[in-house]
């Protein structure tokens, strides 16, 4: 879709340095370096600046234009922390330098080297040896008495003997060359110089711990044979150890003092590094300044090097907006693209550029974004990508690169962001409950010392509003609101991360986040909450919070998925799933869900209002379907039968609610359907009426019959008649309890 090369044929997303800078772009550093290299008294040169200011690009461009100096770049990456043992760092540095100097060259150029290496023998070498031996054999044979006899024999015999002899000689020579080398190489390995190891040698001798001393002759021999006169050590500041420069300076002096190096061909070392490497400790302003040598870093730097070239950063030190825009521009779509692609908003780029200034990191983010964008377009067959989608995709790639470990933990279920997105609604409900309780108790300020944040907390689905409320009242919320420990850990992580906090507070990462990092995530389901819901059911985690699913198609997909997995619907705590199980006739699955709802309501100290609210949602769903004439009577009353079986007190509890009209009308309709259709597959309506009679609730239901606008006058009369008949029967058998 997008052109993979930029205007200088540099692969987009590549992190290697440029080598095409010109002298006029690099003045005065270019001329200063040239002068330093021609000064016979300068051997150690430092190229200093802050990180990512183009030091390597400058040097590669310089030596590409100046072929007089034969150079060798030594790149030694170090990602160890500051606690790493200094002796190990020095040893690893020396080992890597020797590896890149001595072991990276063609061994045929260094025949006197004592380091045991494999010599690659080409077929041309073997062929030359074979031809030479063939000629020698011919000469020796000509001196014998058989020479004339051989040539007088028949041509077929002569040809056959020559052919067979040549083939046998080639076979023997080929194997003797390689077998002979292996024998000599093993001898060198066993009896020759000590080989390079992977750790510090166990020896009391300082010489054995200093590889530059141990391989001194080999290193000098290398420079004599290779004619390399400039060695560039890249990013030496990553080692955070200035003792390394002492060893390299000593090595340089040893090489140049050698009789093997001509006076006019001195070897120079160039180091690219940050000035901060020599600042060992931060200046403590609380200490007496008389105890601090504030100039020590500058003096150490001047002491180590013979010449210092400073690179000047041309980019804005406070913002990398220009770098972001230049990198994004490289991926501009072609005119013949069929997909209309929006742009990342200027505000988002400007804001992110305040946090991220490393050019390599920016290149990675933009390259990742292009890759994910192309995949998203391909998988989803999108005809248009909006500006909002581009912003969210950009935010997802920033998170992926900056918080790579947390991103990797998403698939493992250990990500802080993933946990927050999964538990966001639960956290919001816990806060809502606390707000409600405190409003009743008139002590809001105890937990929310910043009352203005409550006024902003209106859109409860907004991650931004929720986090703003939490961060404004963080300490009190953490202590006063009952949250899981993992919830608190995730919130602490977000609170203490600058970039992720910004992305969430600006709604750049929301519940659709997974759509951008996994384009196939929602081929079957529509959002992350549904994925988490399925996981909870399969893992048999009972979540006592209703999980309504707005789209019936998604709800049916989940039912099918769980059925195929033989999942226990007891854990599918969702009013939407219960409704759809009833609609499609999955009676057993419906009762598994409903039974758990009823059992929760009957538990000690259970929040009955939660289960009543759950059933109210199912009743509302069934009423909508029933009003369209798409629900059979037997399915319509299925809910009421199950409730009466496992939680008959529900028919009493609803009168304690403020709004119960919907449920009462549903129950009345169920009683009418039971009466008119003689439906008694579980419990008939008469048992419910008897129960209400015993609980002395029948008068309230009769009152609701009179007030109902959902049933006809004829139905009202018939229902009242049924109740009266049941009342007379119960009285005759003495079934009414005192």
pLDDT tens sequence across 542-570 = 888 888 887 888 888 889 888 877 888 99
Q: What share of the chain is helix, strand, coil (3-state, %, to 5)?
A: 60, 5, 35
- Cβ contact 200:87 at 8 Å: yes
Helix (H) or strand (E) holding 75: strand 71-75
Which of the pair, 448 or 506, is modelled with greater confidence? 506
- Cβ contact 209:89 at 8 Å: no
Interval 12-26: pLDDT, tens: 766 667 777 888 888
Q: Is the pLDDT of residue 614 over 60?
A: yes
Which phi and psi (to 5°) does residue 341 adopt? -110, 130
**How far is it, in rounded angstroms, from Cα 548 to Cα 247?**
68
**How far is it, in rounded angstroms, from Cα 657 to Cα 613?**
10
Question: What pLDDT does 7 receive?
Answer: 45
**How far is it, in rounded angstroms, from Cα 579 to Cα 592?**
12
Count of beta carbons in the 10 Å neighbourhood of residue 99: 14
- Cβ contact 101:222 at 8 Å: yes
**How far is it, in rounded angstroms, from Cα 472 to Cα 120?**
69
Which of the pair, 467 or 318, is modelled with greater confidence? 467
Interval 706-733: pLDDT, tens: 888 888 888 888 888 888 887 777 665 5
**How far is it, in rounded angstroms, from Cα 656 to Cα 492?**
40
**How far is it, in rounded angstroms, from Cα 464 to Cα 307?**
53
**How far is it, in rounded angstroms, from Cα 248 to Cα 90?**
10
Q: What is the mean pLDDT of the chain?
A: 77
Question: What pLDDT does 509 receive?
Answer: 92
Which of the pair, 201 or 337, is modelled with greater confidence? 337
Q: Is the pLDDT of residue 145 over 60?
A: yes
Q: Which CATH architecture has domain 23-115+198-283+292-310?
A: 3-Layer(aba) Sandwich (3.40)
With left for phi above 0 and alpha for psi between -120 and 50, is residue 696 left, alpha or beta?
Answer: left
- Identify the three-state secondary structure at position 20: coil
User: Going by C-beta distance under 8 Å and a sequence separation of 6 or more, which residues neighbour residue 196?
Assistant: 95, 98, 99, 103, 211
Q: Is the pLDDT of residue 521 over 60?
A: no
Rg (alpha carbons) of the chain, rounded to whole number? 41
CA 711 vs CA 298, 303, 507, 563, 706: distances in Å: 93, 99, 47, 37, 10
Q: Is the pLDDT of residue 226 over 50?
A: yes
- Cβ contact 564:524 at 8 Å: no
Question: What pLDDT does 204 receive?
Answer: 39
**How far is it, in rounded angstroms, from Cα 512 to Cα 285?**
48
CA 378 vs CA 19, 296, 339, 342, 522: distances in Å: 35, 59, 10, 16, 14
pLDDT band at 121 (very low <50, low <70, confident <90, very high): low
User: Going by C-beta distance under 8 Å and a sequence separation of 6 or more, which residues neighbour residue 23?
Assistant: 30, 31, 65
The helix-helix angle for 698-707 and 685-694 (nearest 10°) equals: 120
**How far is it, in rounded angstroms, from Cα 529 to Cα 554?**
12
**How far is it, in rounded angstroms, from Cα 527 to Cα 627?**
30
CA 562 vs CA 412, 533, 568, 598: distances in Å: 21, 11, 8, 22
Mean pLDDT of 368-387: 83
Residue 539 gets which letter from DSSP?
T
Q: Is the pLDDT of residue 459 over 80?
A: no
CA 331 vs CA 328, 368, 379, 651: distances in Å: 6, 11, 20, 65
- Cβ contact 460:432 at 8 Å: yes
Question: What pLDDT does 188 receive?
Answer: 46
- Identify the three-state secondary structure at position 651: helix
Which phi and psi (to 5°) does residue 219 adopt? -65, -45
**How far is it, in rounded angstroms, from Cα 671 to Cα 711?**
11
Helix (H) or strand (E) holding 269: strand 268-273
Bridge partners of residue 217, in order along the sequence: none
Question: Which strand ranges, in their side-by-side order, compose the sheet holding 44-48?
Answer: 71-75, 230-234, 268-273, 44-48, 307-310
Range in 178-192, 395-409, 663-677 with the lowest mean pLDDT:
178-192
């Amino acid at each position: 879709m997008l052109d993979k090369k930029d205007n200088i044929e540099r692969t987009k997303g590549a992190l290697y340095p440029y080598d095409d800078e010109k002298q006029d772009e690099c003045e005065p550093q270019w001329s200063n370096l040239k002068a330093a290299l021609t000064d016979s008294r300068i051997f150690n040169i430092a190229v200093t600046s802050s990180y990512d200011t183009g030091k390597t690009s400058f040097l590669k461009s310089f030596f590409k234009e100046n072929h007089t100096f034969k150079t060798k770049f030594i790149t030694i990456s170090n990602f160890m922390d500051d606690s790493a043992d200094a002796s190990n760092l020095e040893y690893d540095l020396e080992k890597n330098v020797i590896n890149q100097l001595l072991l990276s060259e063609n061994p045929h150029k260094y025949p006197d080297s004592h380091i045991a290496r494999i010599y690659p023998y080409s077929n041309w070498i073997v062929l030359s040896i074979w031809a030479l031996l063939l000629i020698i054999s011919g000469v020796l044979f000509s001196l014998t008495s058989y020479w004339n006899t051989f040539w007088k024999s028949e041509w077929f015999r002569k040809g056959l003997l020559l052919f067979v002899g040549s083939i046998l000689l080639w076979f023997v020579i080929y194997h003797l060359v390689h077998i002979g080398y292996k024998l000599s190489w093993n001898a060198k390995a066993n009896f020759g110089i000590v080989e390079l190891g992977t750790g510090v040698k166990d020896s009391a001798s300082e010489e054995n711990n200093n590889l530059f001393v141990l391989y001194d002759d080999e290193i000098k021999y290398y420079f004599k044979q290779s004619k390399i006169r400039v060695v560039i050590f890249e990013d030496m500041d990553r080692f955070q150890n200035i003792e390394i420069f002492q060893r390299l300076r000593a090595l340089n002096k040893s090489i140049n003092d050698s009789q093997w190096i001509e006076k006019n061909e001195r070897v120079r070392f160039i180091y690219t590094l940050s000035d901060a490497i020599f600042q060992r400790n931060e200046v403590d302003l609380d200490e007496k300044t008389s105890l601090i040598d504030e100039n020590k870093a500058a003096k150490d730097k001047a002491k180590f090097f013979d010449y210092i070239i400073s690179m000047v950063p041309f980019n804005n030190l406070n913002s990398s907006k220009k770098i972001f825009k230049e990198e994004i521009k490289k991926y501009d779509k072609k005119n013949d693209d069929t997909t209309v692609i929006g742009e990342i908003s200027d505000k988002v780029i400007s804001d992110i550029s305040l946090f991220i200034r490393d050019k390599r990191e920016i290149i990675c983010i933009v390259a990742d974004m292009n890759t994910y964008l192309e995949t998203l377009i391909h998988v989803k067959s999108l005809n248009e990508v909006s500006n909002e989608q581009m912003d969210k995709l950009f935010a997802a790639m920033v998170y992926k690169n900056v918080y790579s470990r947390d991103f990797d933990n998403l698939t493992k279920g250990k990500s802080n962001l993933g946990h927050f997105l999964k538990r966001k609604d639960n956290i919001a409900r816990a806060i809502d409950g606390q707000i409600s309780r405190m409003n009743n108790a008139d002590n809001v300020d105890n937990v929310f010392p910043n009352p203005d944040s409550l006024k902003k907390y209106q859109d409860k689905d907004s991650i931004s509003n929720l986090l703003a409320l939490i961060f404004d009242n963080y300490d009190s919320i953490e202590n006063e609101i009952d949250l899981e420990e993992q919830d608190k850990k995730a919130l602490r992580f977000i609170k203490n991360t600058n970039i992720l906090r910004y992305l969430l507070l600006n709604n750049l990462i929301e519940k659709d986040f997974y759509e951008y990092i996994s384009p196939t995530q929602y081929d079957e389901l529509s959002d992350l909450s549904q994925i988490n819901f399925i996981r909870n059911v399969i893992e048999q985690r009972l979540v006592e919070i209703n999980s309504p699913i707005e789209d019936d198609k998604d709800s049916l997909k989940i039912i099918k998925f769980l059925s195929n997995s033989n999942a226990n619907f007891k854990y599918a705590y969702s009013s939407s799933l219960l409704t759809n199980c009833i609609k499609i006739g999955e009676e057993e699955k419906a009762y598994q869900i409903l039974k758990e709802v009823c059992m929760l309501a009957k538990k000690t100290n259970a929040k009955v209002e939660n289960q009543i609210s759950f059933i109210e949602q199912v009743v509302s769903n069934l009423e909508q379907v029933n009003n369209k004439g798409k629900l059979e009577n037997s399915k319509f009353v299925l809910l009421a039968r199950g409730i009466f079986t496992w939680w008959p007190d529900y028919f009493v509890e609803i009168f304690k609610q403020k709004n119960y009209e919907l449920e009462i009308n549903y129950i009345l309709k169920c009683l009418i359907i039971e009466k008119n259709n003689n439906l008694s597959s579980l419990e008939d309506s008469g048992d419910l009426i008897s129960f209400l009679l015993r609980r002395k609730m029948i008068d309230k239901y009769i009152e609701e019959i009179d007030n109902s606008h959902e049933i006809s006058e004829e139905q009202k009369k018939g229902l009242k008649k049924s109740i009266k008949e049941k009342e007379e029967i119960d009285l005759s058998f003495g079934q009414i309890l005192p």
